[in-house]
Structure 1
Amino acid sequence: TNKPKGVVSTHKTIKAQITTLIDAWEWSENDVIPLFLPLHHIHGIINILSCGLWAGATVHLFSKFDIPRITEQVTSGTYNVFMAVPTIYVKLIQYFDSTDPATVRAICDGFAEMRLNISGSAACPVKLFKQWQDLTGQVLLERYGMTEIGMGISNPYHGERRAGCVGQALPGVEVQLFDEYDSPITEEALAGEIRIKGENVFLEYWDNPKATSESFKDGWFCTGDVAVWEDGFYRIMGRSSVDIIKSGGYKLSALEIEGVLLTHDDIAEVAVIGVPDDTWGEAVTAFIGLKPGASLEYEDLKTWCEGRMSSYKIPKHIKLVDALPRNAMGKVTKPALKELV
């Protein structure tokens, strides 16, 4: 992967990033939220801490995600807002599986009483979205953003929150999809790069004019993420550099394939990448972590996939792993997977 780039933001851009979320998610001084995410990441420093401070809310800081301590507070009704990455919600569900039913019910009731549960920093699988709703009654609010822009797109606080989608452009943020020829996409269901305009957009990359120049076109910040617009909602297809697989003449979304594979009864976690291949250009390859005691053969998985996804999306190879490599935010580091091929 490339070296990280320093993102230069101004007071104006940070203010825009904060106030947009204050309004969109209806922050108030009555809100109480735990913060266990890294403060070097925008999810923790902007979405939770800065918004909380701006609103006069209460933020409880934890050095890590401490399930017993945090769920005890959830059960007691301390928190009314909860923000986390998908991995945290998965860990909570796994914790429920090994905890007595009465305690689980009390925790889920605590979540049910909250006004808002948010998932972000990585795609929330549809299966997880539905599991959380079944357990707690909470409909996760998924959103889209990055260090350079704060949050740009969000499901609504009021109204439908659609599984697998990140919603619509936030107030004050312009969003447009562009094709590979830099032409705006106006038709639904056509994939294109997300580009952003607004006061929320950063100033430049620190001491890197070349990267800055390459990241802006006609005033639009080029995110490098690919999405489609479907019936009023943006759906993220993935990062163009790692999540879009060019195989057999098709452009495939790794996130879409992962979402289907996660519905398999024996699969606990999965990451899909494209591996260079003489025949396909890139061969769809799935790295799979199985549930305890489970086993899986490639031919069995291939048969299972038939009828659930198009034939050209079915993985050509699978590799079973004990655990997927993840960063501090719990997001799978796909470049590391290519070293395991």
Structure 2
Amino acid sequence: MSVKTLFARAKDFAERPALSGPDGAWTYRELLERSERTASGLLAGEKDLKEARVAFLAPPGLGYAALQWGVWRAGGAAVPLALSHPLPELDYVVSDSGASVLAAAPELAARLGPIAKARGLRLALTNDLLAAPRRPLPRLKRTRRALILYTSGTTSKPKGVVTTHANIQAQAQSLVTAWEWSADDRILCFLPLHHIHGVINVLTCALWSGAFCELLPAFDADRVWERVREGRFTLFMAVPTVYQRLADAWEKAPPDRRKALSSACGRMRLMVSGSAALPVSLLERWRDLSGHTLLERYGMTEIGMALSNPLHGERLPGKVGSPLPGMEVRLVDGEIEVRGPNVFLEYWGKPEATKAAFRDGWFRTGDAAVVEGGAYRILGRSSVDILKTGGFKVSAIEIEEALREHPSIEECAVVGIEDPEWGERVCAALVLKAGRSLTLESLRAWGKERLAPYKLPSRMLALPSLPRNAMGKVVKPEVSKLFRQPGS
């Protein structure tokens, strides 16, 4: 399959609407034309960028999509930067990726200017790129590096995950097949576009299919509900935190508006949850208000999506289904390993980390799971969510699921903290519901009816909120730090 298939497909959908956002509404033809001019500007007289990294900062909209496609069509590797990141984090990604060109929307140029000046890099503005004369574009091989997405760091700095054009096409095609995307689909995107969930699962799948994607600048529960009510969307993808906030907003709405919002959900054909574990209580709450049983799937930056509950058939609460088309999945000593065309090429500039991540051609995810009735159930990260206390191996996710049933608990995160007697102590960080209070003693007394004694928290912290990353996923290492502070 030619790497130009994505762009060739766009020509087939030329006059169909492709995108809308703060910068207007655009057809596939306009996206092709704008990305071609962007590519010509990035080439700056060269014939081929030859996998040179182009780090770019652009708000959601045609400008973002044209930059991403423009980098690819010029032969470069796209490095999308996070709008939410401060200067030191942007500088780290630029430095680590070895970017030779920076590109930005004019209104964001000031954020990259200091980095470009300090590192002696070209800073190209999107309006200047569009004004460049058109040039012949290079022919691309599928094996070329195309995209570098930076994973959120845990014990070390984030790593750049490199995928080729072939990897990206395989990731998109797998989801398009499994979830039956078509040109008639319409989807709303408010997810960050430096993360695989927004970049691949939403934007790339939509553009591969000839579908329509509306891009919002950021997530706002009331704004999203209004667009859902008005927008005639067929697909919806979000993280559990988003569903939680939408459910909270729905409950605050008057009865007639609740009815209208629920009806709008009913017009969609599919609603998907991912990027973090979906609490069963939230799945049930969302089903009650929307009529949808959320489709939970499993993936990560290095592999795209690997497992999914079925589009048609029973979706099992607390489970992430079976392998997606083209993917092989196995358990080795309880850890998920994955093989297939979706799997990334390398960690940029880190050959030893890349080598350590694979076993005989299988990528080692670091996630522990069991298979029950043919469906995978994630137990958690081998290094973060699997605790060893008193000789027992314990799933933090299992404990969290039980604690969420407590009438005073809004949110929770469970971590293991080193202890000379127990190996690790089970520690629970809690966000309590408004007006509620809770002691460790009463929590343990309540929990005895639901959890084995060794699974009960022996330490507890009540917090105003849990530390989260840009995708809304709880950052467990930050939770652990809170328990290690003096007096905690």
Q: How far apart in 2 are the matches of 1:112 and 1:198?
A: 35
State which of 362, 378, 384 in structure 2 corresponds to 1:220. 362
State TM-score, norm by structure 1.
0.95
Bigger helix fraction: 2
Given that 1:77 and 1:113 are in contact with CA atoms closer than 8 Å, whether structure 2 keeps it comes out as: no
**Of 148-157 and 305-314, the range deviating more from structure 2:** 305-314
Q: How far apart in 1 are the matches of 2:464 and 2:228?
A: 31
Given that 2:185 and 2:211 are in contact with CA atoms closer than 8 Å, whether structure 1 keeps it comes out as: yes
1:318 matches 2:460:
yes
Per-residue displacement from partner, 1:296-318 (whole Å, max 9, x unpaired)? 11111111111211111111111
State which of 267, 277, 298 in structure 1 corresponds to 2:419. 277
Q: CA deviation at 1:7?
A: 1.1
1:96 matches 2:263:
no
What is the aligned-residue RMSD (CA, Å)? 0.9
Given that 2:431 and 2:465 are in contact with CA atoms closer than 8 Å, whether structure 1 keeps it comes out as: yes
Unaligned runs of 5+ in 2: 1-154, 484-488
Secondary structure in structure 1 of the residue aligned to 2:364: strand
Amino acid of the structure 2 residue aligned with 1:224: G
Q: How far apart in 1 are the matches of 2:161 and 2:440?
A: 43
Given that 1:139 and 1:161 are in contact with CA atoms closer than 8 Å, whether structure 2 keeps it comes out as: yes
Q: How far apart in 1 are the matches of 2:363 and 2:259?
A: 45
Q: CA deviation at 1:73?
A: 2.3
Q: How far apart in 1 are the matches of 2:203 and 2:229?
A: 22
Per-residue displacement from partner, 1:19-75 (whole Å, max 9, x unpaired)? 000000000111111100001100000000000000011100011112222212222
State which of 268, 285, 288 in structure 1 corresponds to 2:430. 288
Runs of 4+ aligned residues of structure 1 deviating over 3 Å after TM superposition are none
State which of 415, 419, 444 in structure 2 corresponds to 1:302. 444
Structure 1 partner of 2:164 = 10
**Counterparts in 2 of 1:17-32, with a 5 A limit?**
17-32=171-186
Per-residue displacement from partner, 1:95-116 (whole Å, max 9, x unpaired)? 1222212111211111122100
Per-residue displacement from partner, 1:234-264 (whole Å, max 9, x unpaired)? 0001111111111010111101100110111
Q: How far apart in 2 are the matches of 1:76 and 1:35?
A: 15
Secondary structure in structure 2 of the residue aligned to 1:53: helix
Structure 2 partner of 1:168 = 322
Q: How far apart in 2 are the matches of 1:2 and 1:105?
A: 47
Amino acid of the structure 2 residue aligned with 1:49: L
Secondary structure in structure 2 of the residue aligned to 1:340: helix
State TM-score, norm by structure 2.
0.67
Given that 2:192 and 2:198 are in contact with CA atoms closer than 8 Å, whether structure 1 keeps it comes out as: yes
State which of 306, 324, 344 in structure 2 corresponds to 1:152. 306
Amino acid of the structure 2 residue aligned with 1:65: F
**Larger CA Rg, structure 1 vs 2:** 2
Per-residue displacement from partner, 1:128-163 (whole Å, max 9, x unpaired)? 011111111101000000111100000010111111
Q: Percent identity?
A: 55
Q: How far apart in 1 are the matches of 2:314 and 2:228?
A: 25
Amino acid of the structure 2 residue aligned with 1:27: W
Q: How far apart in 1 are the matches of 2:453 and 2:224?
A: 44
1:251 matches 2:393:
yes
Structure 1 partner of 2:202 = 48
Given that 1:166 and 1:234 are in contact with CA atoms closer than 8 Å, whether structure 2 keeps it comes out as: yes
Q: How far apart in 1 are the matches of 2:457 and 2:258?
A: 36
